[in-house]
Amino acid sequence: MQIHVVKAGETLGRIAQAYGVSVSEIASANQVPDLERLAVGQTLVIPIQGQVHYVQPGETLWTISRHYGVSAAEIIRINKIPNPNNIKVGLRLSLPEKTKLIVEVNAYIDPRMTATRSGQAVDLVGEHLTYLAIFTYAVNLDGRLTPVEDQQPLIAAQNHRVLPLLVLTNFAQGQFRTEIAATLFSNEPLQERVLDQALQVMEAKGYRGLDFDFEYLGRENREGYNRFLQKAAARLKARGYFISAALAPKLSAKQRGVLYEGHDYPAIGRIVDFIFFMTYEWGWSGGKPMAVSPINQVRKVMEYAISAVPREKVMMGIPLYGYDWTLPYVPGGKFAHSISPQQALQRAIRYGVSIHYDPTVQAPWFRYTDEQGQQHEVWFEDARSIQAKFNLVKELGLRGFYYWVLGRDFPQNWLLVEDNFTVRKR
């Protein structure tokens, strides 16, 4: 696959001709919303074997080789370059195919968000998944679990050899609740009741693992959470089930805050089989406009994670969404709207604005003015930002990665999964 960034004046026809493919191939691969209108700065994944690079002003073979993660010697060999120190601007270089890393891939799905489409959402991408985490069997104060309409995604998971994970949380009334966790961790009979119910559901419905997503615990619940996970692990592993946990994105062991202090990376890393690190929501609906998953911050979290947890247990989080903020941003004011990458692209085209790309955070963004004269700022994911995250997974040698959340189509992501990795099926 080749990532192409649309320039001013380009059309699908001219782009297709440059790469020797048809317009329909590009349009189908990217689910292009309007064949006649492209946004400047829009990315297109071109379905060709290998990669092609056109030399830009100031580039050398060394900088090009670093960018694509291949050797300069291999580029010279493939293209039969007579003088490597004198490459012309505009020269078309063929690049060697990438070495595919074997990884595991998980995706969360919330059947409440996708309603009757939850099975279809899994069918669309099931070939690219190892696990499917179904959100959420929520723990109530009395120990009861709130049931989930999970039949459709479970059937789809089975059809695609995807292992379903039951997600257990302290989620109630639309938020994670500290008091539910505190009550559970201080009451051993209540813990047994919760685990009994979870195991019954897993056995009845064919779940293969239990994922713990307990958030906003605070420091006071840190040790209680560790003990609860140890108890759960003993029961789950005796039955051949996986156990995993979703953890907040910490930069150090000393990080303060109710979201962070309850998650003990080293202790939990010793207990569970793998961990989903929530490397997103720097840009969030109630905060100021910025990238949801800035690669410089993601790198810091991952580097700390692999210093505290075996890297073969580390799964990096990737968002399948962005946000549209109304400007000017006012703390405590109007919340941003969550949008899919495809919706973001459609808005850029609709309002005729260019898409910019921040090289530090490796994320696309744009501004537009709506029909009421209100200005907006949008940050989202595109092929470039996804490829940057995949490069980090490969560089650090992680177990794999996961997505929040299925149900928002982003075809470029799955094309790049196939281009970069071999997904392990169990």
pLDDT of the residue at 116:
65
Give the integer Cα–Cα distance in Å for 224 and 198. 19
C-alpha to C-alpha distance for 350 and 361, rounded to whole angstroms: 25
Domains in the chain, ordered, with CATH? 2-95 (3.10.350.10), 101-335+375-423 (3.20.20.80)
Give the mean pLDDT of 284-290: 97
pLDDT band, residue 71 (cuts 50/70/90): confident
Burial class for 363, CB neighbours closer than 10 Å (0-12, 13-18, 19+): buried
Q: What is the dihedral of CA 379, 381, 382, 383, to 10 degrees?
A: 150
Mean pLDDT throughout 158-165? 98
pLDDT in tens, 311-321: 999 999 999 99
Above 80 in pLDDT, residue 69?
Answer: no
Residue environment code for 115-135, b if the CB has 16+ CB neighbours within 10 A, otherwise e:
eebbbebbbbbbebbbbbbbb
Angle between helices 222-238 and 188-205 (to 10 degrees): 40
Band the pLDDT of 408: cuts 50, 70, 90. confident
Closest CA to 201 of 210, 192, 191: 210
Asked if 65 contacts 72 with a C-beta cutoff of 8 angstroms, the reply is yes
At 364-384, the pLDDT tens digits run 999 999 999 999 999 999 999
Cα 64 to Cα 72: distance, rounded to the nearest angstrom: 8
For 68, the enclosing helix (H) or strand (E) is helix 61-68
230: Cβ contacts below 8 Å, ≥ 6 apart: 271
Confidence at residue 115, expressed as pLDDT on a 0 to 100 scale: 58
Q: Is the pLDDT of residue 261 over 90?
A: yes
Pick the catalytic residue: 25, 59, 215, 303?
Answer: 215
Predicted local distance difference test score (pLDDT) of residue 50: 72
Give the pair of three-digit tokens for residue 90. Answer: 């505009």
Distance CA 314, CA 332 (A): 35
Helix/strand/coil for 186: coil
User: Which range is least confidently modeled, 58-72, 78-92, 342-356?
Assistant: 58-72
Count of other CB atoms within 10 angstroms of residue 20: 9
pLDDT at 355: 98
Q: Cα torsion at 51, 54, 60, 66 (round to 10°)?
A: -30
Residue 48 pLDDT exceeds 90: no
Three-state secondary structure call for residue 54: strand
Answer whether residue 171 shows pLDDT above 90: yes
Inform me whether the pLDDT recorded for 113 exceeds 90.
Answer: no
Mean pLDDT, all residues of the chain? 95
| In the predicted structure, residue 67 carries a pLDDT above the cut 90 | no
Can you tell me the distance from the alpha carbon of 107 to that of 109, in angstroms, rounded to the nearest whole number? 6
Kindly report the backbone phi and psi dihedral angles of residue 166, in degrees, each rounded to the nearest multiple of 5, phi listed first. -80, 125
Task: Check whether 114 has a pLDDT greater than 80.
Answer: no
pLDDT tens, residue by residue, 349-363: 999 999 999 999 999
Over residues 123-131, mean pLDDT: 97
DSSP β-ladder status, 375-379 and 363-369: antiparallel
Secondary structure tally for the chain: helices H, strands E: 15, 21
Whether residue 61 has pLDDT greater than 80? yes
Which tokens is 164 given? 């379903």
- Annotated catalytic residue 149: no
Contacts of 173 (CB under 8 A, 6+ apart): none
Q: Which long-range contacts (CB under 8 A, 24 or more apart) does 16-19 make?
A: 19/46, 19/48, 19/52
Instruction: Report DSSP letters for 260-312, one per residue.
Output: TTT--HHHHHHHSSEEEE----SS-TTS-S--SS-HHHHHHHHHHHHHHS-GG
